[in-house]
Chain A
Amino acid sequence: MKGYEFIFTGVKLTLLPSGALWWPEVRLLCVSDLHLGKSERMARQGGAILPPYETRDTLHKLERDIEATGARTIVCLGDSFDDLEASENLPEDEALWLTRLMAGRRWVWIEGNHDPGPIEFAGTHLAELLQPPLHFRHIARVGASGEITGHFHPKAQLHFKGRTVSRRCMLFDGDRVIMPSYGTYTGGLRTDNSVLSRLMRQEAIAVLLGDPPQPIPMPR
């Protein structure tokens, strides 16, 4: 597993192929937009009855990243559950699995727009986390700097030799990092969307997920 190393606000960070962000100095692992329980939420609301396997798939991925890095702190950057009810309806075995992952680690739940409020699980529940010099919050703020955010599920397209590849990606410039979504059932917002273009500086880089992750100039 080879990550993409970069310096942000003087801090050395690594984007892992899975889309998790690793801060080795403080042994902190950050993941964003897990959307656990998405298929249950959709079925409950009368939508599609999707294969009910995305929570275990996401947890499996997270477990591997925690094992590989030996992280002591886990920051879930918001939208960890598809809605608050989904966190309550998590099947018993999956809830146990999550609890087991949390055991013995500092675990921070940042609020997202999908899960705005305390959830059943232990850990620290915060609107945002300041771990100088970095500021972890769900949605980027215009004018802020040093922030690690999620929410937008950015994806980027690359054209080569008549093919087009579209992948989840991380965006970063001197001010902020926008993390890719980590959950299995999550789509993406193209980087050429005006919301993302306005947020990011001209020289922003998009790092396409893959092994290894691949940096390109942010497509606009």
Chain B
Amino acid sequence: MFTARCIAYPDDMTALPPQFDRWFTQRGWSPHPHQIAMVARAATPAHMLIAPTGGGKTMAGFLPTLVELGAAPDPGLHTLYISPLKALAADMRRNLTTPIDELGLAIRVEDRSGDTTQTRKKAQRADPPHILLTTPESLALLLSYEDAPRMFAGLKRVVVDELHALAESKRGDQFMLCLSRLQAMCPGLRRVGLSATVEDPPALARFLAPHPTHCEIVEADPGPDPDIAMLTTDTPPPWSGGGGRYAIREVLDQVARHKTTLIFHNTRAQAEIFFQELWMSNDGALPIGIHHGSLALEQRKKVEAAMVAGQLRAVVCTGSLDLGLDWGDVDLVIQVGAPKNVKRLVQRIGRANHRYNAPSKALILPANRWEVIECHAAIEAVLAHDLDGDPRGPGPRDVLCQHILITACAAPFDADALYTEVKTAGPYADLTRADFDACLDFVATGGYALRAYDRWQRLMQRADGTWQLRDPRLAQQVRMNVGTIIDSDKLKVRMKGRSGASGGKPLGEVEESFAASLVPGDTFLMGGKIVRFETLREMEVQVSSDRGRKPKLAVFSGTKFSTSTQLSTRILDLLHRTPLPDLPQHTLDWIALQREVSQLPRAGRILVESFAHEERPHTCIYGFAGKNAQQTLGLMVTRRMEEMGLGPLGFVATDYATLIWSIAHLDNPTQALDATGLRDGLEGWLAENALMKRSFKGAATIAGLITRNLPGKRSTGRQATFSADILYDTLRKYDPDHLLLSITRVEAMRGLIGFGRIDEMLTRTGGLIDHVHPGRVTPFAAPLFLEVGKVPVDGAGQETLMRAEADRLMIEAGLT
């Protein structure tokens, strides 16, 4: 557990040069103790600041740079600022210009991202500014050029913003590899991390620092506890579902009572639906906007600008607003739906009231009955400063493969030296030489058991033993594929122009698979509007406005979170507390009835209920493993039931439980939930699962086996390209031990498959099962009957359904 501490830094009050002191005084400010503490630690090789939003984090990061550069700095790059958000780099340049001008410093600040012009980029490489603001991907690209050592010569500091967010993804792993490169070029380089509150600061410090160097941690005063509560409503929440539409009235009421409200949702689809309903009930015509990652950039910028200008009373949003500059005077955050993860909740709450030392105000709206319990548990965790988070595990090898390729693009490299260098990156500190060599072999030859390409290797060894690109033209292709963000293929959505021409207003984007399922006339929500699908033309979805009141579909990409392990544990504990905590009466009654009719699930056992509903046998398994893992569990257990001849028909999963219905009762759940069997399943038939293929595609793209689809470079269905699924199937058949399959198996432990959580459940319970026969549908199982997303299980499965549809079409067309 991470306990918040208020730290004073008495010995640090040395630091600032007089002109800076004067500047602070003139502005009527005094530097925060943690800002001074950062200046005092500026000479250490690695240090990190943990501070809540509004704590002057960025100033703390830059102050030492400004002090060191002073009034008349020498030319050359001094500080590199890295932010996961492109927009942040540009905003930061504007924000830095003010103090630099007012302090009269001759410091050049420039930003660089995918949006920077080619001319500008070239100029930056030839004559770098003192401070360069950029993204991890742009840095990786810069390192792929031969002139990288010259450009970065003399670099003194790297400031990493939003380190906590970077550390959660492969972008962070890649960035740390890039830092190991940079460090080799600039041995005196100092690393500075800026992070929001996290559960395990030492782990984050190890991630940042060059291994095994120590990283100092400065923790700012976290400020007062937030003012956080559940949003209570006249009507109790529904039994199932998400979205919180039952509370539109109460939410509008809160918006009216505050200056500016952020209304966070867990998914984009829910944000769209909620936004639409808000407007239908918005009798006071309060100006409310919507912001999420699928909306067109223009749309998002408009909302952001309106927000900064104070023109909006509320924004309905998703994780797209988790990071970024403070904008607007937000005085309330409403989280709709259980937050699933305490750390993210704390960070979201921090978006309210960006004045340091003022409590943030937040309301949580449970979307259904289970979430009442989860929200209560989450609020307790926030107030106890008990944050959650899954340890990341060792640095992924697909990212390392890409790093090796990028390194080769810049110059020939020595394998021993590169291995030593890679091991200084926190996430790769424990990398074995064998694993490194396997990655190098993959990059050089494809790493196949069949040594087919000795003539056509991508990397070849020179006489002096160093490795270089066989064909220097490959560098161009590598640069086009730099990065670890794997977007599923998306299509732009545009209003249909007049006379059917394209060029109408861009609205945003949808996943290609969603677009493929659309039939002309289908309606869906986009940016708060109901639109009607017209045609798919030139890889663009063309739509028109629709006056209907109810969209037919609302499917979006966007991350689906599972309730974290720690929060699940808190829920289980809460159920067994006497007396029960202060929950709404309807929820207390519901829990009491469950205890009477069946049992309350316990942390150390898996509760399995068997009962009949409408004469159909049902099995409810309470694993509390999170939605993704409970879904995988559903796939695995129904598969085993099929083998046992029980005729499973379908299942549905939530964060807490999986409900299965079948022809015959599952009399022996121990057999179906047997750990060895489940683990074998992961290796065996689960490998055929579409999610595994998606993981493979991601790894294969990052590692450089397949190139990503570049926007605008794709035509409708060329016959020359074939799907990554074919490569996956071929490897499984002929080369089952291949590196990419091994990486895919590691990926299956987390994310959408989440087998790691099933493992955790089996370990936590030791496979112990409480099997009860309550003789009726139980109160805890009842909501699952209402849940959407039921997965049918049919022996012949897809083929049967497909045949039925094919026959129907033939008859309809008169072709039989």
Docked CA distance A152–B445 (Å)? 32
Pick the contact of A160: B446, B721, B805 (CB < 8 A). B805
Specify which of A49, A57, A214 is in contact with B730 (CB 8 Å cutoff). Answer: A57
Which residues of B pack against A, CB within 8 Å? 445-446, 448, 450, 452-453, 455-456, 458, 470-471, 473-474, 513, 516-517, 519, 705-707, 716-723, 726-727, 730-731, 733-735, 738, 798-799, 801-806, 809-810, 812-813, 815
**Which residues from chain A contact B735 at a C-beta distance below 8 Å?**
51, 53
Query: Would you call A127 an interface residue if the criterion is a C-beta within 8 Å of the partner chain's C-beta atoms?
Result: no
Interface residues of A in 169-220 (CB under 8 A from B): 181, 184-190, 193, 203, 205, 208, 210, 214-217
In angstroms, Cα B154 to Cα A48, docked, is 37
> Can you pick out 10 interface pairs between chain A and chain B where the beta carbons lie within 8 Å of each other?
A44-B455, A49-B446, A50-B446, A52-B453, A53-B450, A91-B452, A160-B805, A190-B716, A203-B813, A217-B812
Are the CB atoms of A184 and B458 closer together than 8 Å? no
Q: Which B residues are CB-close (under 8 A) to A157?
A: 516
Contact B719 A46 (CB under 8 A): no
Contacts of A158 in B (CB 8 A): 802, 805-806, 809
Contact across chains for A49 and B809 when beta carbons are under 8 A apart: no
- Tell me, in angstroms, the Cα distance from A52 to B705 when the chains sit together: 12
Asked whether B806 lies within 8 Å of A190 as measured between CB atoms, the reply is no
Q: A51-B731, A185-B726 are in contact. Are A162 and B815 (CB under 8 A)?
A: no
Query: Please, which residues of chain B bring their CB within 8 A of the CB of A203?
Result: 813, 815
Q: Which 8 A-B pairs have the closest CB atoms?
A: A52-B452, A187-B722, A160-B805, A49-B446, A43-B456, A153-B719, A190-B717, A53-B734
A39 to B519 CA separation, bound complex (whole angstroms) = 37
Contact, CB under 8 Å: B718 / A187? yes
Contact check, B733 vs A53: say whether CB atoms are below 8 A apart: yes
Nearest residue (CB) in A for B452 is: A52
Residue on A nearest B472 in the bound complex, by CB:
A46
Contact flags A45-70 to B (C-beta < 8 A → 1, else 0): 01011111110110000000000000
**Interface magnitude class on chain A:** 35 or more
Residues of B within 8 A of A39 (CB): 452
Nearest CB of chain B from residue A155's CB, rounded to whole Å? 7
Contacts A43-B456, A187-B718, A188-B719 given; does A53 touch B806 at CB 8 Å: no
- Residue from A51, A57, A152 having most chain B Cβ neighbours under 10 A: A51
Q: What separation, in Å, do the CA atoms of A200 and B210 have in the docked complex?
A: 64
A57–B734 touching, CB < 8 Å: yes
Interface residues of A (CB under 8 A from B): 39-40, 43-44, 46, 48-54, 56-57, 91, 152-153, 155, 157-166, 181, 184-190, 193, 203, 205, 208, 210, 214-217
Contact, CB under 8 Å: A162 / B517: yes
Q: How far is the CA of A193 from the CA of B715 in the complex (A)?
A: 11
Residue of B nearest to A166 (CB): B516
A189/B717 contact (C-beta < 8 A), A43-B456, A184-B730 known: yes
A56 and B810 contacting across the interface, CB-CB below 8 Å: no
A179 CB to closest chain B CB (Å) equals: 13
A188 to B725: give the CA distance in the assembly, Å. 14
CA–CA, A215 and B707, complex, Å: 34
Q: Decide: A186 near B810, CB < 8 A? Known: A48-B707, A162-B517.
A: no
Q: Is the CB of B802 within 8 A of A160?
A: yes
Known pairs A51-B446, A53-B731, A186-B722 / 18 extra A-B pairs, C-beta < 8 Å: A43-B456, A46-B471, A46-B473, A49-B446, A49-B456, A51-B448, A53-B730, A53-B734, A56-B734, A57-B733, A161-B805, A162-B517, A164-B516, A165-B802, A188-B719, A208-B802, A208-B806, A214-B803
In the bound assembly, the distance between CA atoms of A98 and B475 in angstroms comes to 37
For B707, list chain A residues within 8 Å (CB): 48
> How many angstroms from the CA of A76 to the CA of B452 in the assembled complex?
25
How far is A167 from B469 in the complex, measured between Cα atoms in Å?
38
Which residues of A are found within 8 Å of B519, using beta-carbon distances?
A: 159
* Contact partners of A185 in chain B: CB under 8 A: 722, 726, 730
Most chain B beta-carbon contacts within 10 A, residue among A181, A187, A193? A187
State whether B452 touches A214 (Cβ < 8 A). no
- Among A48, A189, A205, A214, the residue within 8 A (CB) of B719 is A189
Q: Which residues of B contact A163 (CB under 8 A)?
A: 798, 801
Q: Is the CB of A51 within 8 A of B706?
A: no
Cα-based distance from A54 to B474 in the complex (angstroms): 24
The listed residue (A40, A51, A153) touching B738 by CB distance below 8 A is A51
Whether the Cβ atoms of A49 and B801 lie closer than 8 Å is no
Determine the distance from Cα of A152 to Cα of B717 in the docked complex, in whole angstroms.
11
Q: Are A160 and B804 in contact (CB under 8 A)?
A: yes
Known: A190-B716, A203-B815, A214-B803. A43 touches B453 (CB 8 A): yes
Residues of chain A lying within 8 A (CB to CB) of residue B473: 46
Please, which residues of chain A bring their CB within 8 A of the CB of B803? 214
